[in-house]
């Protein structure tokens, strides 16, 4: 399944990447996915925690240099 939305949160610090992700996910249908790119070191903790607390599925996490890429599926 491909992502239906993308967020470029590079340059944003905690909690903005999670807040932007939450806002975009609220507009999606269950099963749709969002791709998020961050470079805030706190995202390593914040994004998985947000997914766990909100019930969304963290499908993918990978790092490319300073950037981190996340794929989250709305549940």
Q: Which of 12, 14, 57, 67 is catalytic?
A: 14
Residue 14 a catalytic site member: yes
pTM over cut 0.75: yes
Q: Structural domain boundaries of the chain? A: 5-73
One pLDDT digit (tens) per residue for the chain, 75 residues: 667 789 999 999 999 999 999 999 999 999 999 999 999 999 999 999 999 999 999 999 999 999 999 999 999
Decide which of 3.40.50.720, 1.10.620.20, 3.40.190.10, 3.30.110.40 is the CATH code for 5-73.
3.30.110.40
DSSP labels, the chain: ---SEEEEETTPPTTHHHHHHHHHHHTSPTT-EEEEEE--TTHHHHHHHHHHHHT-EEEEEEEETTEEEEEEE--
């Amino acid at each position: 399944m491909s992502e239906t939305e993308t967020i470029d949160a590079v340059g944003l610090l905690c909690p903005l990447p999670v807040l932007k992700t939450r806002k975009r996910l609220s507009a999606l249908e269950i099963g749709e996915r969002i791709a998020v790119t961050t470079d805030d070191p706190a995202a390593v903790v914040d994004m998985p925690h947000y997914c766990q607390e909100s019930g969304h599925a963290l499908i993918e996490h990978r790092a490319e240099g300073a950037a981190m890429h996340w794929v989250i599926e709305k549940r």
